Copies of this chain bind each other. A is one copy, B any other.
Amino acid sequence: MGIWEDGTPMSEVTKGREVERTGPAVTRRREIAQRAAELFDAAGYYSTSMEDIAESAGLRKPTLYHYFKSKDEILLEIHSEMIELILRRHEERLAAGVESHSQELRGLMGDLIELMETHPGHLRIFFEHQRELPDRYKEAIRARRQRFRGFVFDAIAGGIEAGEFIETDVEMATLAILGMCNWTYQWLRPNQERTAAEVTESFWQFAMRGIAVDPPV
């Protein structure tokens, strides 16, 4: 595959991202990252070895090293996959056109909260092990988190400009809404009492009452 020729991980954001999004190697990497995320979540990042990951993924260690050169790289893959997924979703939403800024926010909130169902355990890794990433990876992830935050900020600012939301401190509203949604990683689990969709609806209504000129009832 020649994936590692230039010495950077496949999931590095800066180059050739599009062509690498599909194909069997990418699928295999995602599967490995999924198993690793489960192990990290259960036993902790530090206590999990490449050996454990290979075993859990049903691979021999040299084969694992063919896909990922280090645990750091797996951690980056876990980070990248999720954040790119929700960035892409919103880009597609914007490209398709949204009917209102409040619907735009509902979409963003839903995408985030839904990760608790589609990527259980990943979010904890994402939030709590960000600082363990090597610096060059950290920067790439930080830029993408800022981009997502920017989406929320823009939706609110756009809503104010359109007269849909009240004049409010956009940054504070952004942080309040992101906080509500992100914090679900601490308590929302798949197949429990409430679904991600229900939580989204409830939080969205709360937030809309918080900022909308004419909140939904």
Q: How far is the CA of A46 from the CA of B47 in the complex (A)?
A: 10
Contact with B along A191-211 (1 / 0, CB 8 A): 000000001001100110111
Verify if A136 is at the interface (C-beta below 8 Å from B): no
Verify if A128 is at the interface (C-beta below 8 Å from B): yes
Where chain A touches its partner, the secondary structure class is: helix
Q: How far is the CA of A210 from the CA of B44 in the complex (A)?
A: 37
Verify if A178 is at the interface (C-beta below 8 Å from B): yes
Q: How many copies make up the complex?
A: 2
- Please give, as numbers and ranges, the residues of chain B lying within 8 Å of A175 by CB-CB distance: 180, 183-184, 187
- Please give, as numbers and ranges, the residues of chain B lying within 8 Å of A206 by CB-CB distance: 168, 172-173, 176, 210-211
Contact with B along A146-179 (1 / 0, CB 8 A): 0000000000000000000000110011011011
Verify if A80 is at the interface (C-beta below 8 Å from B): no
Q: Which of B44, B169, B183 contacts A202 (CB 8 A)?
A: B169
Q: Which of B132, B168, B169, B179 contacts A44 (CB 8 A)?
A: B132
* CB contact under 8 A between A172 and B202, given known A179-B181, A179-B183: yes
Verify if A48 is at the interface (C-beta below 8 Å from B): no
- Please give, as numbers and ranges, the residues of chain B lying within 8 Å of A46 by CB-CB distance: 46
